[in-house]
Amino acid sequence: MSDFLKQFGEDLKKNVPGFIAVSVAEIKSGMSYYSESALADFDPELASAFNLEVIKAKMNAIKALNLIGQEIDNVMITLTSQIHIIDVSENGEYFIYLAVDATKANLGMTKSILNKYKKEIVGKL
């Protein structure tokens, strides 16, 4: 695992209120490059695999609707007690999957941290 991904995970755990889990995965293959969970029963790699299907479905919808030039920036799914964010890299090759506790999350801070790493992820992986 690269030092970049270790630093990324530590930064999220330390600075994202309500951190539950994170995974970084490649869109083309579904391969997970990094995952971390604060909860023993929450598998971020499994969650990434399912959320990859969300990304692929939205990509198909963009194509079917002929939305030329449109790309996915992020997808946010709000559950009863959790928020799941799927943040796609600028080149569309990778995504960050992050789950946070909805009662503790600061979405502005969380998005700021994700945007910082999303810009770096393409050059580091």
What does pTM read for this prediction? 0.91
Write down the number of H helices and E strands in the chain: 3, 5
The per-residue pLDDT for range 36-81, each reduced to its tens digit, is: 999 999 999 999 999 999 999 999 999 999 999 999 999 999 999 9
CA 16 to chain CA mean position, Å = 13
As its CATH architecture, domain 1-123 has 2-Layer Sandwich (3.30)
